[in-house]
Amino acid sequence: MAKYVFMYSGGKGVSADEVEREAQYAKWGQWFGDLGSAVVDGGAAMGAAKTVGPGDSVSDGGSRGVTGYSIVSADSLDFAVELAKGCPVLEIGGAVDVYEVIAM
C-alpha cells in the first residue's frame, strides 16, 4: 500500500466564532474517523510561511498557499482521490491536492 499526502489550500479558514469552529473541528474528526486505518498522520494546519528560491532569494508567504496536510495510505492514487472527496475543506471553498509519496 502506498502513502499519499493530502495538501489542503484555500477556503474560508477556521471560523472565528467558537460554535462554528467547534462544528468545523467535529467534521474533521468525523472524516478522519470515517477514513479509519487509512490515516497514517492526521497532519496539521499551516501558519506563516516564507519561500526560498534560487540565488538565496526569500519572500514572505508560501508560494502554493498550503493551509494544511495529512498523510493516508491507499491502494492507488485514484483511491486516495476518492478518500479526499469527503474532506471538510471542500465545504468551505478549499481544495485538496493529492500527491503520491515516493520512497527515496
Domains assigned to the chain: 2-46+64-100 (3.30.70.1060)
Q: What SS3 class is residue 30?
A: helix
State yes or no: pLDDT of 12 exceeds 90.
Answer: no
Whole-structure pTM value: 0.89
Residue 100 has phi, psi (to 5 degrees) of -75, 140
Using CA atoms, how far apart are residues 11 and 79, in angstroms rounded to an integer?
24
Cα-to-chain-centroid distance, residue 36: 16
What's residue 80's pLDDT?
Answer: 98
Whether 40 has a pLDDT exceeding 90, the answer reads yes
Q: What is the mean pLDDT of residues 64-89?
A: 96
Instruction: Kindly tell me the sign of the dihedral angle through the C-alpha atoms of 84, 88, 9, 101.
Output: negative
pLDDT of the residue at 27: 95
Q: Which of 2, 9, 4, 7 is nearest to 92 (CA)?
A: 9
Amino acid at 74: A
Q: Note the pLDDT of residue 61.
A: 83
pLDDT tens sequence across 20-39: 989 999 999 999 999 999 99
Cα first-last separation, the chain: 16
